Amino acid sequence: MEFLLYLALGACAGVLAGLFGVGGGIIIVPVLVFSFTLQGFDASILTHLAVGTSLATIIFTSINSVREHHSRGAVRWPIFAWMTLGILLGAGFGALTAEAISGPNLQKIIGVFALIIAVQLALDFKPKASRTVPGKVGLTVAGSVIGWASAIFGIGGGSLTVPFLTWRSVPMQQAVATSSACGLPIALASALSFMILGWHDPLLPAHSLGFVYLPALLGIALTSMVFARLGARLAHTLSPRLLKRLFAALLFCVGLSFLL
């Protein structure tokens, strides 16, 4: 039953990754926390295991999402390149920060973040395009901050990268596409960091590589890679307003459950 849940979760995460450029992690982490709790995993490590596993799944989600966006010429590769320099550094520090936070407190932090994103989506708040794309240093600094926060929350960074790029006058479709591309180095650097940091933890369940739970990774990856391309296609053809509001309602419930 758990594996069927992971397959369904992967499908949802894939669509979200392609449609909104959010990587699906904001949904994957809470569902994994719930699943790991039911399976009886130790409370002190299950949140870190959920975050690390989520980041590992985003590697697979990003690949097909980026391919689809690139085929449409929407990825701004120069922006991606300079942001990635900062992302690689920030993601490592983010994993260290998450490890230093206790499991219950990490859940509360993720819950607050989910509520903030829910409000942003429900109100369809977007920063106005008021500035131009920054230079190499500015993109690197922005990438480091986004990489740091993404590693803590277990996300691909889209909920941070897309608003940043639209604020910097990048058109929405290009912002989503470039955000999807940035999700790949975020996931690679963060997942590797979580693997290393949790490698010798005696409380980890069987079939774990550090703070990455392989059965969940396999199930989510199998379906997310297929559905990410579907989401990317929908992003270029559909108005996502209703979906955003439904997604916001789901996130609001998730955030409350983590805080109560």
In this structure, what token pair is assigned to residue 224? 């997310």
pTM of the model: 0.86
Q: Tens-digit pLDDT profile for the chain (260 aa)? A: 788 888 988 888 777 766 765 656 777 888 888 889 989 999 999 999 999 999 998 888 788 778 888 888 889 999 999 999 999 999 999 999 999 999 989 999 999 998 988 888 788 777 777 788 999 999 999 999 999 999 999 887 777 898 899 889 898 889 888 988 998 999 999 999 999 999 989 999 999 999 999 999 999 888 877 787 777 777 777 665 766 777 788 788 888 888 87
Three-class SS state of 213: strand
Distances from the Cα of 172 to the Cα of 126, 211, 222, angstroms: 10, 34, 28
For residue 93, which of 43, 143, 23 has the smallest C-alpha distance?
A: 143
Please tell me the number of Cα atoms within 13 Å of 109 on its side-chain side. Answer: 18
Q: d(Cα 220, Cα 205) in Å, to the nearest integer? A: 18
Instruction: For residue 176, give the nearest of 13, 18, 26, 15 by alpha carbon.
Output: 18
Q: Say which DSSP state 23 is in.
A: T
- The residue assigned the tokens 């590992």 is 56
